[in-house]
Structure 1
């Protein structure tokens, strides 16, 4: 089966573009499936492909130690983008092995939509939309409340937006980003206090706009970029409302 597996490697990007047209090389063969799945253990420490595993992690760490799925947690595991149980021929293909965090690896699981073809975004082959679709909503009353949502624009086609929604729903990113946002802002109260005492609400707004620009260098739809954009546009937060962060809640 060596020639067939090499051909499957060559077809990998084609499978990503339209997974509905492809069936695993090992489909219907328990023997071949077991043999191909057994290859993954060769990546373990002290096994023949340990250097491949180490190389994948070194490359990822040299670029960004953050998980490409949530953009928050540290990478610590290898995710099979096309699950090895569905496509065991890709069990040790480097292009199919994505360094991710433990949380995202667990939640993604064996996700592989062969019916609608809605795959999640591949860290190596896909670009997340560069137009603003992730929004943060801020409410300042007795506390500061933060919520995230997706907004489809005319620049995003239905298929792409469906993939975005799938990724956020499977990984529970709305709730995850809410919790991270409160922690992020609570840690920065002293920064806002300094800006407010020196320049008032305009100082806080300028600080938030600077933080927005920094986050947007990572991605227009990075969770911090959406957060700081929303905060900079919220007059209540900038005019001292940030002090209510210490009593904040997540709705």
Structure 2
């Protein structure tokens, strides 16, 4: 089989590789020359090169997500991630389905992650859907400070393999700590709103406001970090009955 025909066949096998990567090896396996040649194709996406339009069209898909990174749901996209790393599968170095617009942080942390032994891959932004039941939880503690902690809890609606992939994604991308920092910034920015709602409508008014913020965030997904945060805040009686004021006097953790 010629190299061109082999690449075309590999493109056709892409979704099968995603389903069970353990069954597949790279077209270029064992050939440094072919690997180098296929890796060299990626430079064709650079500005002024023949595939610049392809790169631009891939980035335009990010506009449907308001240019937010699909891995962390927070930062702006600025890089193309090879979901199946080009060093492991160089035949997919310029396959559009394998090129995911992501932020710099997630691109760096994901690196060449590719589990060919257990077949446990992260979530693909185009081919996989994150669980649509609550598995991302936020624990709100109120003592001398307001503390925020994220965790995962497996639902009976989520199979073990899917949940293992979720856990892997959170671990590799450091999402628990990342979301904690984002939550701290979010709450700090909203202090005046909480104070206004509590002063005018009491704890029930603040709870209603937090519930509305949770519903708004859930439009981005039930496990979006903001949705999990505001659900937890709206259910926390101490926070809604004035405990939020500790945001004004103490640093959060």
TM-score, normalization by structure 2: 0.97
How many residues are matched? 250
Counterpart residue number, 2:140: 138
CA distance in 1, matches of 2:51, 2:115: 29
C-alpha RMSD of matched pairs (Å)? 0.7
After superposition, residues 30-69 of structure 1 pair within 5 angstroms as 30-69=32-71
Aligned residue in 1 for 2:115: 113
User: In the TM superposition, what is the alpha-carbon distance from 1:53 to its structure 2 partner?
Assistant: 0.3
Partner of 2:205: 203
Q: CA deviation at 1:209?
A: 0.2
Task: Pick the aligned partner of 1:248 from 230, 239, 251.
Answer: 251
CA distance in 2, matches of 1:230, 1:209: 9
Q: Secondary structure at the match of 2:212?
A: helix
Bigger mean CA offset, 15-24 vs 60-69: 60-69
1:236 counterpart (225, 235, 238): 238
Q: Could you say which residue in structure 2 is the equivalent of 1:217?
A: 219
2:8 is the counterpart of 1:6: yes
Distance between the aligned counterparts of 2:115 and 2:216, measured in 1? Answer: 35
**Distance in structure 1 (CA, Å) of the matches to 2:161 and 2:242:** 42
Q: 1:152 aligns with which of 154, 164, 183?
A: 154
For residues 39 and 105 of structure 1, the distance between their equivalents in structure 2, rounded to whole angstroms, comes to: 20
Structure 1 stretches of 4+ with a deviation exceeding 3 A read none
C-alpha separation in 2, matches of 1:172 and 1:164: 12
Matches within 5 A, 1:85-96: 85-96=87-98
CA distance in 1, matches of 2:57, 2:150: 36
Distance 1:235 1:229 in 2: 12
Unpaired runs of 5+ residues, structure 1, are: none
Output the CA distance in 1 between the equivalents of 2:15 and 2:167. 22
